[in-house]
């Protein structure tokens, strides 16, 4: 019996394969209509459906295919209107040949509870998945790397199509929209982010849907609205955003040197972390301000539109001055519940002071962030008394994102550490970034066949922080 079952499984896979429509450059959905001649078991009354469904599943005669219900309306329109139903069976069950029936079907037929009839199961474009349809369209030599891993930002899906798939780009775009209800527009990048311009925006072409890139996204319970064509956003970095936010402590100060529209800054502000958030792109700064207002974190997050090189030292000076001026965030007390007794005395605002030093620097510009590290020389020159051993405060942790080639880990780590040493003049060892003289290097994600993104975290060495400013 086993070989017969294996053969039947192969036949079923073939029967449910999307119709071939090779080299289609313009989507014709009508070509994906398919009729499967099979059989069905009519039940004398619907109360028997559940019992016979279970029995026919056990006898392996019921069609069980993803996205296809084996319970169908009665093939007779009048009976269907009356609510009559049937159970769709596998093609191996022949209505004219009872020898192909199981004992379940034979007994049900003898008892007058079942009638086995020919049946036609219809399948159309809506049945098949994206990959099913693409395999039917693309030549077999292109099946290994069918474009499927696209990024999304709100209603926009963006691809980076390889040359061999460009002849099918409009079809690919339309099928993505059809098979992903949240996607309304599909675009294809036509240059590399990070190399086309300093703001990490990119040129694009619309493959399907309207040319509308004003999107709204939610991340870490914060809402961001922006023009995707004018700022940088990557939904695949949400875990990395959250990883660092989890490290930040309420009441600390974080300097976000390349803040974009605020995926680190805004959720951190919601957590009660002070953030000096900077981005050189005026459009990013505009949408950052909007996100701060919309998510009500203006007490903690301050937006800046400076060059990142100068911002590093300016932020340290600005935070210190804010602390000296006794600046603070004001937290309104929660409104008392109507059911709770009134407080004995009026609830007061909670004042959270800005501390004098920055606890973390975030530098999420992987194409060039390490080239900014020389700006940390002299960061706290003349302010040694703010840090240990004079106080319990440690020097800032620097979190710098970078790209590195796919080599063995030791070689990759050495390459990253060498680039850091070139900028700060201090050799760090791979290890725990919390420990002075060591640097943790965390892999964030693959970005290309031969390139990975990392986050290098290290505590700023005292010899760098307290060096004379150039």
373: domain CATH number? 3.40.50.150
Specify the pLDDT at position 22.
75
Nearest to 138 by CA among 151, 128, 147: 147
* 418 known ligand binder: no
Q: Do 356 and 282 share a structural domain?
A: yes
* 307 known ligand binder: yes
Q: Do 266 and 353 share a structural domain?
A: yes
- Rounded Cα distance, 265 and 35, in Å: 55
Q: What confidence tens digit (pLDDT) does each residue in 299-357 have?
A: 999 999 999 999 999 999 999 999 999 999 998 887 777 777 777 777 788 899 999 99
99: domain CATH number? 3.30.70
% pLDDT > 70, the chain: 95
* 308 known ligand binder: yes
Q: What confidence tens digit (pLDDT) does each residue in 38-89 have?
A: 999 999 999 999 999 999 999 999 998 888 899 999 988 998 998 999 999 9
Q: What confidence tens digit (pLDDT) does each residue in 278-299 have?
A: 999 999 999 999 999 999 999 9
151: domain CATH number? 3.30.300.110
Specify the pLDDT at position 291.
98
Nearest to 104 by CA among 62, 47, 73: 62
Q: Do 207 and 62 share a structural domain?
A: no
* 364 known ligand binder: yes
Residue 27 lies in a domain: no
464 pLDDT more than 90: yes
Q: Do 380 and 336 share a structural domain?
A: yes
- Rounded Cα distance, 325 and 308, in Å: 25
The alpha carbon torsion through 457, 367, 362, 431 (nearest 10 deg) reads 0
Specify the pLDDT at position 106.
95
Residue 6 lies in a domain: no
Residue 41 phi, psi (nearest 5): -110, 110
Q: Do 385 and 257 share a structural domain?
A: yes
Residue 4 lies in a domain: no
Q: Do 295 and 263 share a structural domain?
A: yes
130 pLDDT more than 80: yes
Nearest to 265 by CA among 257, 17, 413: 257
pTM: 0.83
- Rounded Cα distance, 382 and 394, in Å: 16
Q: How many domains does the chain have?
A: 3
**Rg (Cα) of the chain, in Å, rounded?**
31
Specify the pLDDT at position 13.
56
Domain boundary, last residue among 153, 185, 212: 212
Section 197-224 average pLDDT:
90
Residue 171 lies in a domain: yes
């Amino acid at each position: 019996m086993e070989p017969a079952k294996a053969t039947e499984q192969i036949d079923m896979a073939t029967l449910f394969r999307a119709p071939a429509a090779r080299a289609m450059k313009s989507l014709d959905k009508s070509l994906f209509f398919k009729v499967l001649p099979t059989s069905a078991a009519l039940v004398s009354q619907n109360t028997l459906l559940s019992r016979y469904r279970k029995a026919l599943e056990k006898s392996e005669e019921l069609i069980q295919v993803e996205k296809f219900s084996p319970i169908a309306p009665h093939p007779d329109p009048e009976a269907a209107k009356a609510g009559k139903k049937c159970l769709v069976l596998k093609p191996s069950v022949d209505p004219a040949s009872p020898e192909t029936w199981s004992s379940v079907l034979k007994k049900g037929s003898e008892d007058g509870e079942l009638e086995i009839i020919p049946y036609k199961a219809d399948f159309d474009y809506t049945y098949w998945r994206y990959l099913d349809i693409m395999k039917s369209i693309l030549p077999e030599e292109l099946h290994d790397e069918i474009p499927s891993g696209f990024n999304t930002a709100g209603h926009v899906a963006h691809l980076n199509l390889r040359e061999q798939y460009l002849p099918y780009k409009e079809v690919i775009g339309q099928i993505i929209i059809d098979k992903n209800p949240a996607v309304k527009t599909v675009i294809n990048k036509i240059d590399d982010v990070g190399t086309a311009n300093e703001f990490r925006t990119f040129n694009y072409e619309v493959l399907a849907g309207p040319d509308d890139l004003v999107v709204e996204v939610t991340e870490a319970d914060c809402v961001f609205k922006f023009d995707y064509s004018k700022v940088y956003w990557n939904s695949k970095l949400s875990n990395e955003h959250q990883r660092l936010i989890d490290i930040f402590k309420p009441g600390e100060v974080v300097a976000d040197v390349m803040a974009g529209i605020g995926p680190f800054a805004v959720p951190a502000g919601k957590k009660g972390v002070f953030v000096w958030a900077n981005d050189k792109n005026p459009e990013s700064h505009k949408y950052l301000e909007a996100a701060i207002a919309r998510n009500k974190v203006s007490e903690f997050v301050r937006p800046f539109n400076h060059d990142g090189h100068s911002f590093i030292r300016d932020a340290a000076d600005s935070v210190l001055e804010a602390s000296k001026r006794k600046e603070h965030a004001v937290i309104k007390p929660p409104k008392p519940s109507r059911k709770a007794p009134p407080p004995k005395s009026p609830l007061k605002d909670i004042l959270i002071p800005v501390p004098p030093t920055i606890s973390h620097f975030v530098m999420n510009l992987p194409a060039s962030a390490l080239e900014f590290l020389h700006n940390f020389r002299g960061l706290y020159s003349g302010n040694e008394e703010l840090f240990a051993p004079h106080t319990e405060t440690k020097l800032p942790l620097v979190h710098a994102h970078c790209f590195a080639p796919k080599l063995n880990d030791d070689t990759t780590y050495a390459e990253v550490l060498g680039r850091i040493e070139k900028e700060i003049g201090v050799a760090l060892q791979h290890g725990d970034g919390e420990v002075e003289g060591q640097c943790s290097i965390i892999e964030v994600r693959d970005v290309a066949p031969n390139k990975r993104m990392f986050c290098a975290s290290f505590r700023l060495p005292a010899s760098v922080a307290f060096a004379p400013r150039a």
